[in-house]
Copies of this chain bind each other. A is one copy, B any other.
Amino acid sequence: MSLAFHIHSARRAGRRATLTLPHGSVETPVFMPVGTQATVKAVPQQLLESLDVRILLGNTYHLYLRPGHEVIRRLGGLHRFMSWPRPILTDSGGFQVFSLGDLRRVTDDGVSFRSHIDGSSHFFSPEHSMDVQIALGADIAMAFDECTEYPADRARARASLDRTLAWAQRSKIHFDAHKHEVPWNNQSPEDKSQLATGDRGLTTDDSQLATGDWGLTTDHCPLSTVHQSLFGIVQGGMFPDLRRESAERLVAMDFPGYAIGGLSVGEPRDLTLEMIAATLPLLPAGKPRYVMGVGYPDEIAEYARMGVDMMDCVLPTRAARHGLLFTSEGRLNIKNRQYAEDQNPPDPSCACLVCRRYSRAYLRHLFTAQEPLSAILNTLHNLAFYLETMRKVREELAADPAPEAQR
């Protein structure tokens, strides 16, 4: 089995569940840190594990360009390449490609674009996105979609929705035909055993740094039947009826999980909420629901209570590098002069390894002096704050038993 989703309990629409994937299990609702180029910027994998990160997101577009998906395939897939034994989700590359603006051209067949690195020409189709994502070998791959821009009028949103649905079908057909080619299944039995036990024979001393579920969770997933799972993506712009149509036609294709895309692309926050609220009830209750690219801490908590199971966003990591810390007392801009001699931790209510050890004065100094440790510590804190936010929501949702309908 490649994916199992077990709902433990629910409180109104929100639900507390366990998502079991080939590389381990994930307690949901979950926030997934973004590891664009096979690294969560400025954080060693050991520290991600100590934060109890269970699933990371990788960006297909970036990894395709550098180091290249074929390189990663030859090196055993993304998990092994970046030495991350726990689950990974890759996006389809669509969002990044559409963000290129003048560098790309879209047809029904796919997208031509130029690399933001060296200007070289490339082409992504649904089939190619699947090939790249299978080479990367994340636990969850995403259908190739067109992320509808904001604002988009009804005609544009409909055309984009139709294209995304056609691409979802092509994605699924190609994925199903090729999913056995995932690098885990191309490895020799010896390699598989290495994968399952740790790459280089970690000793007991390493276990505190390299804990976790390196390798496949073979207990319930015999290798021969384990592969990636492909999620479909709902589009439809800011039109509830188009969202409904997108969701219904996508659900008819029977994906193991569904994402709501095309949000957090510049629209007002109320509208994001409205689109999520309009779409969630149309998705199968027993399957994971993923809202892409959100959000602020209060937003992800709110969406989780509404029934969203998975979210990702560059906000905590990117904001950290700009000196913006999320705390239980609100946002804190660490570069402000008022913190120059402030001996308090960034967030007095936070128990993360940054707040337990370092003062605002020190973090401000690191930022001002442009020291690399600034990005490291700020990112660690923001990720810890996001993960703790979701942990609290999970605790809250665990208070009620699961309704029969969702079991």
Contacts and interface: CB of A to CB of B under 8 A. Distances in A.
B67 A361 contact: yes
Contacts of A75: 341, 343, 359, 361
Interface stretch (A129-137, A203-211, A219-227): A203-211
Contacts of A210: 356-357
Interface in A212-258: none
Nearest to A66: B369
Contacts of A341: 71, 74-75
A196 interface: no
A293 interface: no
A202 B356 contact: yes
The A interface, classified by DSSP as helix, strand, loop or mixed, is loop
Given A41-B372, A341-B74, A67 B200 contact: no
A376 B340 contact: no
A356 B343 CA distance: 37
Given A83-B362, A208-B208, A361-B75, A371 B39 contact: yes
How many copies of the chain does the oligomer comprise?
2
A365 B66 contact: yes
Contact of A369 (B37, B50, B362): B37
19 contacts: A39-B371, A39-B373, A42-B373, A42-B376, A43-B373, A50-B209, A67-B368, A67-B369, A71-B340, A75-B343, A75-B361, A76-B343, A81-B359, A81-B361, A81-B365, A200-B357, A202-B357, A372-B372, A372-B376
Given A37-B365, A206-B353, 12 more contacts: A37-B369, A38-B362, A39-B366, A41-B371, A42-B373, A43-B373, A67-B364, A67-B365, A67-B368, A75-B361, A200-B345, A210-B356
